[in-house]
Structure 1
Amino acid sequence: MTKIQLDAKALKAVSRIVPAFDIRYYLCGVCIEATKDSTTCVSTDGHRIMAAQHKAKNDIQGDVRFIIPKEIVTMLTAGKRPAQAKSIELEKHGEKWSAGLPPVNEFQAQFKPIEGNFPNWRALVKKTTKDGVTGEVAMFNSRYLQEMFAIAKELHHPNLPAATLLHNGNAAAVIHFGDMLSDLNILGLVMPMKTERGPGLPDLSWAYPAKGDEDEDDAPKEAADSPTAEEVPA
């Protein structure tokens, strides 16, 4: 019998960037990579990669790799699961897999994996980061970054820093998710916008001081010379 354990939080996190439709149909789902002692959930939309790995006791004969369709992932991650149902168990029956639905796995969803070759994301990660990151600033699609940082907030305690963008020039930038509160290993990569230079500076003369107004260089100096609340004599 083949059984795989999935962390519901990991599956939901990576599913956030799965495209609703793509001519590359094999991207429209979450790729599952399982060994006997770990499970990795991976997704990509061609511009970003998200991967989350956690320890697991999987009942498999050898390494397993398949793609769960997006609609099934949505069903498995809908709503909130109680603490005792944070792990999703996938069980294989012939060519199909089944998994318990939230909130407590009482009902089952059965599906056939998406046929196709999921991209070799591990090779891209190695190529991009084997020598570290350059720190060279690049331009990014703001929506991509907003979504990645929103994912980070879901994974962390709300009072902890969410994530940091590590610039890497024209190569994929790394999203550093900080110290996790669980045993999840999280990876995020975002490709920069293809541009040799940023847009030119727009005309900002309308925002300059009006004639006769204080020069902007004087304001900080005067503010610095003014006594603070602690320095004002009683």
Structure 2
Amino acid sequence: MERNHFEEHYVARVGWLRAAVLGANDGIVSTASLIVGVAAASGRAEVLIAGIAGLAAGALSMAAGEYVSVSSQADTEKADITREKAEIDADPAEELRALAGIYERRGVPAELAAQVAAALHEKDALGAHVRDELGISEHTEAQPLVAAGASAFTFAVGAALPLATAALVPEASISLWVTVLSLMFLALLGAVGAKAGGASMWRGVLRVTFWGAVAMAVTALVGKLFGAVV
């Protein structure tokens, strides 16, 4: 009886997971840092105005930044694919030898490498070169809209957490509450991101929480030193 073979690999999530974690992390850290810095020199009203402005501007900035950067990657990939197609059309025999050479360098015997390269060339020459020579696959191919959307959405969600905290806790202790709860949010984000990517949860938690704490501490210090909104 034939069995269907299925394995779950985390690399398929690379296209959106990186942008999502980055967006959520930046949303929490930047908004919490902004709130803590403003709270060190102002009241709740100023804190909420600054936080809402930071959420809106940050989400749009993250979306635009991700779209532009990932679009640049996509343009480079398309240019390489176009160039590779032209090289295959111009000299298929040389490209066939080059593909066989790639397999040989990976440890495949020369005769078998030539057979594999010939079979792949016959089926989909460009696909074989894109995958094995350029290192571009469907899992890692740049997706600007996916990255931009994931980054903007998760930034807004991340920013909403410290903003909601600032709106609900006593005004005199906004900085303390935002700092503590934001670090808890960051720890949760680190754990979820690591779990989704199949990595060590403790490492993810410590990395995200440590740098978030540093950012908020520096911003709070600036707010206290200058006695002004930062």
Q: What TM-score results when the alignment is normalised by the length of structure 2? A: 0.26
More strand by share: 1
Tell me which of the two structures has the higher relative contact order, counting C-alpha pairs closer than 8 angstroms and 6 or more residues apart.
2
More helix by share: 2
